[in-house]
């Protein structure tokens, strides 16, 4: 599934292509896609394919095509503070992008059938938190993953504002999925070969919209052959954040506002200088003229007045200099870009606080 847009050279170019093709349509979704490099969720030997609009599977590890994730993110209509449940959470790529939008007061849960994939997702999540340059640009709702079959979720679990299922749902399980939603919530899932958006408009009222044709592997049915009993999946409880954690969120938010105000002041409220246009260089060239007179042909050269009579057949030093300058303009020397500056980190490290508190504010990130 996929192949709707051209491959990119890097993550940003892939996002540009998805925007151009109208798969990504809103700023929040674009920011989330740019913040998390899709290649980071591939095994090293398969990263050459990371920026193609194709699904990828290796063993139990699976990623849907970028165009599918784009449509899913747009259809979910995510907002800060919502609760989200990802059924078949896989590598955690989608859950992490969602977490960037939900913010610190959202809920972000995932259910995954395979325990080895859960471990893979936790490794990728830890890598993102510790190393990504994008992490400090957001307040993140960290996903929590549990192992189990998503068709065996405990009936006393809380309902969610947004639910996504990453496997084909049979018609017989449609009502089960709908009951995971709060009133006003949105469910996105592959249903009868169509990516489908269902909005719960009342206790027993629904609106359904077909988004696009898709092909997903079907949900795996629960297997009770061993014990004959259902293995209920218990989702994490919605916990109240500690006062210390709330203080960290508030301090980081205040510092970000200060940085934003300082940036506006430096840039003149965000107004940039008008672009400067290069004056086109006009080269003076010798001209050859051919005159047809009756049946004879006469050829002559019209020289520039500044030409030296003794150098009619050679290139002047001025021409050589102009050619050199033109060549430099066409092929400017490659300059190594300056590394991005993490202003939040710099300001936190300058706070008059003990070092352990500074590193707590930075989530113990190494850079």
Active-site amino acid positions? 64
Distance of CA 11 to the CA centre of its chain: 7
* Spatial CA neighbour of 41 closest among 28, 25, 55, 27: 55
- Residues in CB range of 331: below 8 A, 6 or more apart: none
> What is the Cα–Cα distance from 213 to 195, expressed in whole angstroms?
6
Under DSSP, the state recorded for 304 is -
Burial of 143 (0-12, 13-18, 19+ CB in 10 A): buried
- Phi/psi of residue 248, each to 5°? -60, -45
Residues in the chain: 367
Show the tokens assigned to 14.
């892939």
Q: How many CB atoms lie within 10 A of CB 36?
A: 22
Alpha carbon distances (Å) from 364 to 48, 67, 261 = 31, 34, 26
């Amino acid at each position: 599934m996929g192949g709707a847009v051209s491959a990119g050279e890097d993550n940003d170019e892939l996002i540009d292509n998805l925007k151009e093709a109208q798969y990504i349509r809103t700023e929040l979704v674009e920011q989330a896609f740019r913040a998390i490099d899709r290649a980071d969720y591939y095994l090293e030997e398969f990263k050459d394919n990371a920026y193609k609009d194709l699904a990828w599977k290796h063993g139990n590890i699976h990623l849907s095509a970028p165009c599918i994730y784009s449509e899913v993110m747009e259809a979910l209509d995510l907002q800060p503070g919502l609760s989200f449940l990802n059924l078949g959470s896989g590598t955690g790529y989608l859950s992490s992008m969602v977490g960037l939008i939900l913010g610190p007061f959202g809920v972000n849960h995932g259910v995954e059938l395979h325990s080895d994939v859960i471990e893979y997702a936790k490794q990728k999540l830890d890598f993102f938190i510790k190393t990504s340059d994008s992490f400090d640009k957001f307040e993140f709702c960290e996903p929590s993953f549990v192992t189990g079959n998503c068709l065996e979720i405990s009936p006393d679990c809380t309902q969610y504002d947004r639910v996504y299922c990453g496997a084909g749902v049979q018609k017989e399980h449609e009502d089960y999925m709908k009951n995971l939603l709060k009133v006003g919530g949105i469910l996105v899932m592959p249903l009868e070969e169509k990516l489908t958006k269902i909005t719960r408009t009342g206790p027993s009222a629904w609106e359904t919209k077909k988004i696009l044709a898709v092909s997903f592997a079907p949900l795996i049915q629960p297997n009770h052959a061993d014990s004959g009993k259902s293995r209920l999946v218990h989702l994490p409880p919605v916990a109240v954040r500690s006062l210390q954690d709330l203080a960290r969120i508030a301090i980081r938010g205040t510092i970000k506002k200060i940085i934003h105000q300082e940036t506006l002041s430096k840039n003149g409220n965000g107004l940039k200088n008008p672009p400067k246009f290069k004056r086109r260089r006009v080269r003076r060239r010798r001209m050859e003229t051919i005159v047809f007179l009756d049946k004879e042909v006469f050829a002559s050269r019209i020289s520039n007045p500044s030409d030296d009579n003794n150098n009619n057949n050679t290139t002047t030093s001025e021409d050589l200099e102009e050619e050199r300058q033109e060549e430099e303009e066409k092929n400017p020397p490659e300059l190594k870009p300056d590394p991005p500056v993490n202003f939040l980190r710099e300001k936190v490290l300058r706070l008059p606080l003990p070092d352990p508190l500074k590193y707590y504010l930075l989530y113990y990130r190494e850079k």
